[in-house]
Structures are given as structure tokens and as C-alpha cells.
Amino acid sequence: MKTNDYVKYMTQTIVKYADQPKDERRRLRTVRKETKASFWYRWFGILPYILYYEVKKRRKM
């Protein structure tokens, strides 16, 4: 990506963000937080997450 293209993209992104109403920005922020991956997956990857899930599932039985 050339520098001019990058500057154009960043300008469009900033203007798009600034044009949104404050309530819309808050709503999008909360949606992003809710859809964020869990702590175990973000920090340790998929394998420890699966192990944690299996252990948790066996304890419930």
C-alpha cells in the first residue's frame, strides 16, 4: 500500500468515526466488548482453552 493510499484510508476512517453520533459509537464499543474472545483463548490459544473447557465439563457431570 502506498503512502497516499494509507493516508486516504486513515482520513476516511477518522471522518467516518467522527461523523457517527455518540450513542452509536458507545453501542458499537459495547458490541465489540461482548464479542471479544475469552481470557483463556486470547492469552493462551486454543489448546489450553479446550483443556479448560473439558475439565469444566467433566466436573459438571
13, 14, 37 from 17: Cα distances, Å: 6, 5, 24
How long, in residues, is the chain? 61
What residue spans define the domains of the chain?
3-60
**CA 54 remoteness from chain centre:** 25
Q: Which amino acid is at 54?
A: E
Query: Is the full-model pTM beyond 0.85?
Result: no
Q: Which position has the grid cell 475469552?
A: 38
Note the pLDDT of residue 46: 80
Note the pLDDT of residue 16: 92
Q: Are 40 and 49 in contact (CB under 8 A)?
A: yes
Show pLDDT as tens, one digit a residue, over the chain (61 residues).
Answer: 688 999 999 999 999 999 999 999 999 999 988 888 777 677 777 887 788 888 888 887 6
Note the pLDDT of residue 61: 63
What is the C-alpha separation between 60 and 51, in angstroms, rounded?
15
